[in-house]
Amino acid sequence: MEDLKYYGSAIPTKFGSLINSVSYRNFNLQVGISFKFGYWFRRNSVNYTDLFSDWRGHSDYGLRWQKPGDEAYTIVPVNPYSTDYNRDAFYTGSSALVEKGDHIRLQYINLAYDFEMPKTRRVIKGIQIYFNANNLGLLWKANKAGIDPDFNIGANNLVTARNYAIGVRTKL
């Protein structure tokens, strides 16, 4: 048991969001930032069993141990040219792949402009034109691997899909 190392929670222990609204004349700007702190995650890496059986690779393959002396600068095991599930599971479960999950994300930006209608028009009281941008990316992350901890899925590290919308609202 003394060989086991506990890094911490796999679930954020501190999390939340900050929302800021600023208005000037007819313009309204809202910015939403979320944060998660106090947790760890295990990043993905090369798995030779998956590589040889399903042709699923990983960019860490280029960082693998290739010649004597490489162990001084890489943690990625040598390509054995044969599959050994237990060897891959040992590497996948090792502390070499544990990363700090803390991060701050720019969740959204909303910008709107309100057109005021003359009081003589009773049907439409106002019109607003708006622009929304969501899932804009990480502002800061604690891990040095450049991985978004919320999207560390499977053999690939996915990127959040950004969403943009332009629209018109009417007040009746």
Percentages helix, strand, coil for the chain, rounded to the nearest 5? 15, 40, 40
Mean pLDDT computed over 17-22? 97
For 58, the token pair is: 């990983």
Residue with tokens 């939340």: 16
Give the integer Cα–Cα distance in Å for 27 and 61.
50
pTM: 0.77
Cα torsion 138, 17, 43, 159: sign: negative
Q: What is the pLDDT of residue 29?
A: 98
pLDDT in tens, 123-156: 788 899 999 999 999 999 999 888 888 887 654 5
DSSP string, 42-107: E-----HHHHHHH----GGGGGS--STTGGGT--SPP--SS--HHHHHHHHTSGGGEEE--EEEEE
Give Cα separations from 105 to 10, 32, 43, 99, 129 (angstroms): 18, 9, 19, 17, 26
Q: What is the pLDDT of residue 96?
A: 83
From the list 82, 76, 80, 54, the residue with the least C-alpha distance to 64 is 76
From the list 33, 17, 18, 23, the residue with the least C-alpha distance to 111 is 23
pLDDT in tens, 68-90: 887 787 777 777 777 777 777 77
Dihedral through CA 16, CA 162, CA 138, CA 91, nearest 10?
100
Cα 56–Cα 93–Cα 73 angle in degrees, nearest 5: 80
